[in-house]
Amino acid sequence: MSKGGDVVGQIVKAYTFVVIWMGVSISVILFNKWLLAFSGFPFPITLTMWHMSFCSAVGFVCVRVLGITKSHNLSLRDYTQRVLPIGVLYAASLWLSNSAYLYLSVSFIQMTKSLMPGLVYACGVAWGTEQYEWSSAANMALIAFGVVVCALGEANLVMKGLVQQLVALVFEAARLTLVQAARLTLVQILMAARGLAMNPLQSLYYVSPACFLCLLVPFFALEFRTILTSPPTFYPSVLLANALAAFALNLAVFLLIGKTSALTMNIAGVIKDWMLIFFSFYVFHAPVTRLNLFGYAFCCTGVGVYNYQKLQLLKKKALQKQKEADSSGKADMEGGRPLLANGGSNGKTEGSRD
């Protein structure tokens, strides 16, 4: 197959993963919003634990029972060092973001997610994985200003929900910026680090139990007593469908990051947020004011500039690596001529002697 065909195939594959992730993510968000805010099941920690326990069970069956994929048989030390940090940050992010659905509209929550590039950049600068630049800082300030305008224009703003959503974003940014020297996300580290390549099913098999364990503490502290005294009315079929959707989303997230990149996910996330704002308005009749949209326009402008800068940086690094590879190959060829001319001890010379 030609190089052009390979490129087209890779583009089609990447867009397929993006479309799958967007569709599943939109469905899960709307499903969770309805379940938590409208169906009489206001227990975000319990719901998140149910998702993680279901994913853990499916992962166990796929890895240990059916043998669809192998287990890496991690030691307790490796699991604690490599997987548990993911579980802590991922669990906190999922718990708080689900809690925000009790108080905030889906559209406004998606608008606040525009802060993610700025939070990731700030964490990167604080941890030394990103270089501080005035242009990038100004761009992040533009995004933050847009979110403030969105908040001022929000018709049903609840501060508790806003704080929960912002803290959830901080945890998510920390999860994405806790990196190795290669600047891979934690999920990418888990899937491609030193001898520990993992497919999506293996990632769920290891990460989901860690998330479940981390959620036990807030569950017993905040929701356990309420559930015992006032058990909610729910239908098992609804919770099962919700868990299946959450499993599909977790699988899609690992698959998207593993097969494309975090940058692709960020760009696709902006489009997904636009679609969710539309669906929130028409499905849940969440009010969207002109000030909301004006502020979100600022956010989208800043996010667009951020993604453009990241793309240019990636191109620059790729070009630099290509130049270094070309210069290294040229140096090897020039260094090899005298050896061949003088009968030096390279592979061909020794082979001719034999």
Per-residue pLDDT, 158? 93
Per-residue pLDDT, 218? 94
pLDDT in tens, 102-113: 999 999 998 998
Per-residue pLDDT, 257? 67
Whether residue 224 has pLDDT greater than 80: yes
Instruction: Classify residue 78 as exposed, middle or buried by CB count within 10 Å of its CB (0-12, 13-18, 19+).
Output: middle
Cβ contacts of residue 257 below 8 Å, gap of 6+? Answer: 185, 187, 188, 191, 265
Whether residue 220 has pLDDT greater than 90: yes
pLDDT in tens, 69-126: 777 777 788 788 777 887 888 899 999 999 999 999 999 998 998 888 888 888 878 8
Place 333 in a pLDDT band, splitting at 50, 70 and 90. Answer: low
Place 185 in a pLDDT band, splitting at 50, 70 and 90. Answer: very low
Whether residue 229 has pLDDT greater than 70: yes
**How many Å apart are CA 61 and CA 54, to the nearest integer?**
11
Give me the chain's average pLDDT, please. Answer: 79
| Top-confidence range, 39-48, 169-178, 255-264 | 39-48
Residue (of 242, 105, 85, 253) closest to 165 by Cα position? 105
More confident residue, 220 or 125: 220
Cβ contacts of residue 191 below 8 Å, gap of 6+? Answer: 197, 198, 199, 203, 254, 257, 258
| Top-confidence range, 163-172, 179-188, 194-203, 314-323 | 163-172
Name the least confident of 110-114, 144-148, 182-186. Answer: 182-186
Q: Which residue has the tokens 């994913």?
A: 55
Per-residue pLDDT, 92? 93
Axis-axis angle for helices 3-37, 262-283 (nearest 10): 40
Place 335 in a pLDDT band, splitting at 50, 70 and 90. Answer: low
